């Protein structure tokens, strides 16, 4: 019966700011290898992030969106998902993409404007990065619907930012997820900003997770800088998706410590003081303190990890820089199986232009 109801959105956090458990921890935290894997992935993601920004600043990469401060989200998505699940990522999910099989060089190719970086098909059924805000949500609902119809076992995980929750696509995806009982997990990276729009100008709701209520699906809010809380929410939501065909909306509350992208200067619209305060909540130090508390981590392990991360990132960068650039018509060829007649002449023009530029270059 649809009658009078009261609703509440649960909030989960297990580690305090110093990395001390506030509550009894979920059972899976007894898996110490998993705890270390979470930490290692977050550190690797940050190492990559610094390098990607350096490459952009030196003209070797296009516009790049940093994941600084939001490493727990992509890491926990990547580690919690199973191979048969499908990831529908947006542009701050490189940690998840790499944990699911992409190479760092491919992440760089994508942000370097090379179509081969978007060709996630070679690894899995995951979709490539989505930049048009919120369009990935209805696509993910479509993927989850197809998986249901075809009887596939897995769940679909889709991610978006806080700004995306104001778009119709977001609400439409949640709505069908409820009505059609889709095995869908929607993760909001609530980093408090949508470029220069702060959350309080984005929405008047007390949380973003409560948008699930209107769609009749579960909504939970977690401290997005507490990897234990993020992983646990993912784990529970994936279980419900796979076994009960139930969708969940997870709001991971975090903070974008960087500019929106390398094309942005956030100091024009937010205070240094706000950023400084949020550094105190960032996820990596908190998790390292937690591992220290469990006596699972020491200074030598930390040094070895930093060295390994640097090596891994450098290897990815070397592979990226060694790639011969693709022909410019790849931008059309990668998009269509058959080139539409309306683009034929543009494609020919691109090829002719590239050939004449090449000739001039060689003649010079
Ligand atoms: C449909 C569409 N409109 C506008 C843009 C330009 N744009 C890129 S990112 C962005 C803000 C997104 O903010 P949010 O959803 O909070 O994600 P965040 O970048 O903070 O992770 C905008 C407006 C776009 N990419 N797509
Ligand atoms: Mg945002």
Q: Where are the domains of the chain?
A: 11-326, 328-364
- Find the angle CA(29)-CA(31)-CA(34) to the nearest 5 degrees: 90
If we measure between CA atoms, which residue out of 312, 316, 321, 233 comes closest to residue 43?
312
**pLDDT value at 122 more than 70:** no
What was the pLDDT predicted at 138?
98
Please, which pLDDT band fits residue 1 given cuts at 50, 70 and 90?
A: low
CA 244 / ligand 2 centre spacing (Å): 30
Ligand 1 atom closest to the Cα of residue 92 is 21
Residue 120 has pLDDT above 80, yes or no: no
Distance CA 301, CA 311 (A): 15
Model confidence over 59-76: pLDDT tens digits?
999 999 999 999 999 999
pLDDT band at 23 (very low <50, low <70, confident <90, very high): confident
The count of residues in the chain is 364
Provide the β-strand partners of residue 186. Answer: 158, 249
From residue 181, alpha-carbon distances to 85, 153, 244 in Å are 16, 14, 8
Q: What is the pLDDT of residue 223?
A: 98
The structure's pTM equals 0.96
Q: Considering the domain 11-326 in this protein, what is its CATH number?
A: 3.40.50.970
Distances (CA, A) of 197 to 10, 193, 217, 260: 26, 6, 27, 11
Rounded to the nearest angstrom, the distance between the alpha carbon of 26 and the centre of ligand 1 is: 34
- Which sequence positions are flagged as catalytic? 256, 260, 269
In this predicted structure, what is the pLDDT of residue 299?
97
pLDDT (average), residues 150-172: 97
CA 179 centroid distance within chain: 26
Cβ–ligand 1 contact at 195 (below 6 Å): yes
pLDDT value, residue 124: 79
């Amino acid at each position: 019966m649809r009658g009078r109801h009261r609703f509440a959105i649960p909030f989960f956090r297990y580690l305090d700011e110093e990395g001390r458990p506030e509550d009894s921890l979920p059972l899976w935290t007894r898996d110490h290898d998993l705890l270390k894997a979470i930490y290692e992935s977050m550190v690797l993601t940050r190492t990559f992030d610094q390098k990607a920004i350096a490459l952009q600043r030196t003209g070797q990469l296009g516009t790049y969106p940093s994941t600084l401060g939001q490493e727990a989200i992509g890491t926990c998505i990547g580690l919690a998902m199973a191979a048969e699940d499908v990831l529908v990522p947006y542009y701050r999910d490189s940690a998840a993409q790499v944990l699911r099989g992409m190479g760092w060089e491919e992440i760089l190719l994508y942000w370097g404007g090379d179509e081969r970086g978007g060709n996630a098909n070679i690894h899995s059924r995951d979709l490539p990065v989505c930049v048009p805000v919120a369009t990935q949500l209805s696509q993910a609902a479509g993927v989850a619907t197809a998986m249901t119809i075809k009887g596939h076992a897995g769940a679909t995980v889709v991610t978006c930012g806080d700004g995306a929750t104001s778009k119709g696509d977001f609400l439409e995806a949640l709505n069908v997820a409820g009505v059609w009982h889709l095995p869908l997990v929607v993760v909001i990276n609530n980093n408090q900003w949508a470029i220069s729009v702060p959350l309080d100008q984005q929405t008047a709701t007390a949380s973003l997770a409560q948008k699930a209520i209107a769609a009749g699906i579960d909504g939970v809010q977690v401290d997005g800088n507490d990897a234990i809380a993020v992983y646990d929410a993912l784990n529970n939501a994936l279980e419900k998706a796979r076994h009960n065909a139930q969708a969940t909306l997870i709001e991971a509350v975090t903070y974008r410590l960087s500019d929106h992208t390398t094309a942005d200067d956030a100091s024009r619209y937010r205070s240094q003081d706000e950023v400084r305060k949020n550094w105190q909540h960032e996820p990596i130090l908190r998790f390292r303190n937690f591992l220290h508390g469990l006596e699972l981590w020491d200074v030598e392990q930390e040094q070895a990890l930093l060295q390994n991360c640097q090596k891994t990132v450098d290897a990815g960068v070397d592979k990226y820089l060694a790639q011969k650039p693709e022909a410019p018509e790849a931008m059309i060829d990668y998009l269509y199986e058959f080139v539409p007649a309306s683009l034929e002449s543009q494609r020919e023009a691109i090829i002719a232009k590239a050939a004449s530029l090449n000739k001039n270059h060689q003649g010079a």
